[in-house]
Amino acid sequence: MRVVLALTAVLALSSCSSASTQACGAAGAASGVSFDTSSWSDAGPLTAHACVGTRCVDRPLGNGQPRLIFVDAPSLSSDAPIAVSLTVQRPDSRAVFKATTTVRPQKFLPNGQGCAPTAWQSRVQPTDHGLALVVK
C-alpha cells in the first residue's frame, strides 16, 4: 500500500510540474519586411531595390526569380513606424515603379507566447497607388 501511495504522489507531482513548464518549438524568425513582387513574376529582366529604413537589398525580378524579397532588419524591435521603399528598374536604369510608405511592424512569435524568438515583421505589395500593407 505504501508503494502505491508513494507512486501516486510522484505521479501527481510530476504532472503538476509538467503543466507549469511550457514546451517551445524550434522555429526561427527574423525581423524585417517582405516585399511581394509577384506582379513582375513574368516580366523581362528587372531589378528591385527594396529598403527598410537604411537597410537595402537589390534583387533580380522576372522569370524563375523568388516572388518575395525579404529585407532583414534586426534593429526592428517594436511596432514603431519605419519607412520602406521599393524601386523597380529596367536594365537601362529607367524606373517602372517607385514608392515609399511607412509601416508599423507586427509582433511575430513563431513558437508561441513566452518562447523565443520574437520578430517584428511587415509585408507590403505594390499597387497602382504605391505600396500597400498586406495584413496577415
3-state secondary structure 22-86: CCCCCCCCCCEEEEECHHHCCCCCEEEEEEECCEEEEEEECCCCCCEEEEECCCCCCCCCEEEEE
What's the average model confidence in pLDDT over 6-23?
Answer: 45
Percent of the chain surpassing pLDDT 70:
82
What's the average model confidence in pLDDT over 91-98?
Answer: 92
Least Cα distance to 86 among 15, 35, 26 occurs for 35
Distance in angstroms (rounded) separating the CA atoms of residues 77 and 52: 13
Name the CATH architecture for the domain at 26-133.
Sandwich (2.60)
Torsion of CA 28, 110, 102, 96, to 10 degrees: 60
Quick one: pLDDT band at residue 1, thresholds 50, 70, 90? very low
What are 49's three cell numbers? 531595390
What's the average model confidence in pLDDT over 14-41?
Answer: 76
The domain limits of the chain are 26-133
Least confidently predicted of 16-25, 52-61, 65-74, 88-97:
16-25
Amino acid at 58: D
pLDDT digits (tens, 9 = 90+) for 33-81: 999 998 776 667 899 999 999 999 999 987 777 889 999 999 999 999 9
**pTM for this structure?**
0.79
What's the average model confidence in pLDDT over 102-125?
Answer: 95
